[in-house]
Amino acid sequence: MAAAFGSCFGSCAPAIVGRAARASKNAKWGLLFTIVTPSASAAFRAIAVDCLCNRCPRGHTGFMALYLAFDVGGTKTAALVADENQVLARTTAGSIKTLRVPPEEAMANLQALLAALKAASGRTLHGNVACTCIGTSGISAPVVRDWLLSSFREVVGGETVLLGDEVIALDAAFQGARGVLAIAGTGSNMVGRARSGAMVHAGGWGPALSDEGSGHWIGTEALRACFRAIDAAKPSSADAVSPHGVPIPITREHLPSLLQRFLETLELRDLEDIIGAANSLTFHSAALVPATVAAARSGDALAGAVLQRAGEDAAALVAAVIRKVEALEAADRVPFRAPEVAFVGGILSHIAEVRDAMHRSLAAEFPGIVLQQSAVDPLEGALWHARGRPGTHGGAPLDAPALHRRV
């Protein structure tokens, strides 16, 4: 660190270097000496203060610690760099999650993120970062955990904290305090924390088991609603079945309007095409969410009912978390009040119909419950952890492998 300051002084203020060398072998104390020495000019004092506070005009690093926060998803990664007082830069790039991309691609994306943060902040990161907090799913998997730890140790240095993505989002809203977080994006998961710090979950079992209110759920249920409507429709003529007993194909114009939208979205021709696509292993039903929302907002009853039920089913999972919190707090001997609810994820952030339906359903069961007005930024929770706020991380002990890994 002293060497770094010597370089800074040499290029910014040679007079400071000489004075610092006479006052102390440690560049930090040389800076302080310059600031308080009556004979130092106001200009030199200003340069010394800027260097000490990490504001060197040439971009040299001062003594104020730097912190990195990462929110790692399957398709993209968001990151920021901050000091003790402010966020200095933010950026996004491709995923660095090795469950989703090859290690070589993950490293290239990580290097791109760090280069962008360095360029935007004007700070050298390697060797100057006190702590990095990374939030992602799947950190109990060695292929994810080990790669992240070794890679950040190599290219960043400093301490590294690994947390579940739900933990950094929860702490973006509540910073270690009591609360509930509803997550609904491509998938869904609900998590809460009691006064004791104990954490509870509901949902999040994957699309085949429990993903209520998610993009996958909405797309799948919208398709099912269309086919239920087809099954319930009365035949338009006696020719609905051929003389040979084979059903006559339903023409496109006789399909539910929502299903016609889906054909356009997927660039398919007819009913047989969408049946084949929807039953394939590679089908991503979340791709149908924008068309479902557009249909609902244009008055389509099928689409509107799907969004309504998405909010109600998400609320049922949130309510399950609240009841678990209530059970944990039963011994507190104070009247129970439902925790405040925060939310994150593309569905709850951008589809008011789902969010409002969830809130109405929760309010019917827990009168007066508070739903935060805007989505949380998970990076803020990661930054809170990186800066080392007191207490446990994510309400979990430091050795809880499913939520936290610290080195």
What is the domain count for the chain? 3
Looking at the domain assignment, is residue 143 inside a domain? yes
Looking at the domain assignment, is residue 61 inside a domain? no
Residue 239 and residue 34: Cα distance in Å, rounded?
A: 96
Which range among 151-160, 200-209, 355-364 has the greatest average pLDDT?
355-364
Residues 356 and 246 in one domain: yes
Residues 96 and 229 in one domain: no
In angstroms, what is the C-alpha Rg of the chain? 28
Q: How far is CA 195 from CA 5, 21, 192, 338, in A?
A: 45, 53, 10, 12
Q: Tens digits of per-residue pLDDT, 266-317?
A: 999 999 999 999 999 899 999 999 999 999 999 999 999 999 999 999 999 9
Q: Tens digits of per-residue pLDDT, 60-118?
A: 445 578 999 999 988 899 999 999 999 999 999 999 999 889 999 999 999 999 999 99
Residue 158 and residue 156: Cα distance in Å, rounded?
A: 7
Handedness of CA 32, 37, 38, 43 (dihedral sign): negative
Domain span including residue 46? 2-52
Looking at the domain assignment, is residue 381 inside a domain? no
- Predicted confidence at residue 8, as pLDDT, reads 46
Which range among 39-48, 199-208, 360-369 has the greatest average pLDDT?
360-369
Whether residue 125 has pLDDT greater than 50: yes
What's the mean pLDDT when you consider all of the chain?
83
Residues 144 and 264 in one domain: no
- Is the distance from CB of 344 to CB of 169 less than 8 angstroms? yes
Residues 225 and 306 in one domain: yes
Looking at the domain assignment, is residue 383 inside a domain? no
Q: What does the pLDDT average to over 53-57?
A: 48
Residue 249 and residue 272: Cα distance in Å, rounded?
A: 8
pLDDT confidence bin for 243, thresholds 50/70/90? low
Q: Tens digits of per-residue pLDDT, 338-372?
A: 999 999 999 999 999 999 999 999 999 999 999 99
Which range (27-36, 38-47, 178-187, 251-260) has the least confidence?
Answer: 27-36
Q: What CATH number does residue 293 fall under? A: 3.30.420.40
- β-bridge partners, 202: 190
Its pTM stands at 0.76
Q: How far is CA 230 from CA 210, 255, 256, 304, in A?
A: 26, 7, 7, 17
Looking at the domain assignment, is residue 385 inside a domain? no
Residues 122 and 201 in one domain: no
- Predicted confidence at residue 346, as pLDDT, reads 93
- Predicted confidence at residue 297, as pLDDT, reads 98
Whether residue 124 has pLDDT greater than 80: yes
Whether residue 400 has pLDDT greater than 70: no
